Amino acid sequence: MIHRLKEVRKELGLNQTDFAKYLGITQTAYSMIENGNRPLSDKYVKVICSAFHVNEKWFITGEGGMFLDSPYEKEFMEIFNCLVPETQRFLLLMARELLKTQRKLLDADDGR
């Protein structure tokens, strides 16, 4: 996870001092975290992911993309993951139908 911390900071174009300010810590404390001399607390993981729209799953496990595609994606995934499998399937079916309807409406608007 530590190498992803540095990767996020560099992708955002921030130096250690500026990134540390977002976390409310000193550059020295941040440097110790980034170099693996201090652990990165869950609190800071949440702050980083929230402030910079970083995909928390990617940040922790390396799976998925670095950033969330949408400000709604995190909330949607949290809700989706709390649903039982039957409800997840139903929601997916509803989303597919909604997408079809949206495409039809957009196609109709293009034909005006």
Give yes or no: residues 35 and 81 share one domain: no
Q: Is 74 exposed, middle or buried (0-12, 13-18, 19+ CB in 10 A)?
A: middle
Q: Residue 110 — very low, low, confident or very high, per pLDDT cuts 50/70/90?
A: confident
Give yes or no: residues 49 and 26 share one domain: yes
Cβ atoms of 19 and 30 within 8 Å: the answer is: yes
pLDDT digits (tens, 9 = 90+) for 9-63: 999 999 999 999 989 999 999 999 999 999 999 999 999 998 888 999 999 999 9
- Answer yes or no: is 67 within a domain: no
Q: pTM for the full model?
A: 0.61
Domain that holds residue 99: 72-110
Give yes or no: residues 1 and 55 share one domain: yes
Number of folded domains in the chain?
A: 2
> Quick count: other Cβ atoms within 10 Å of Cβ 67?
16
C-alpha distances out from residue 66 to 3, 4, 11, 15, 110, Å:
12, 9, 10, 18, 34
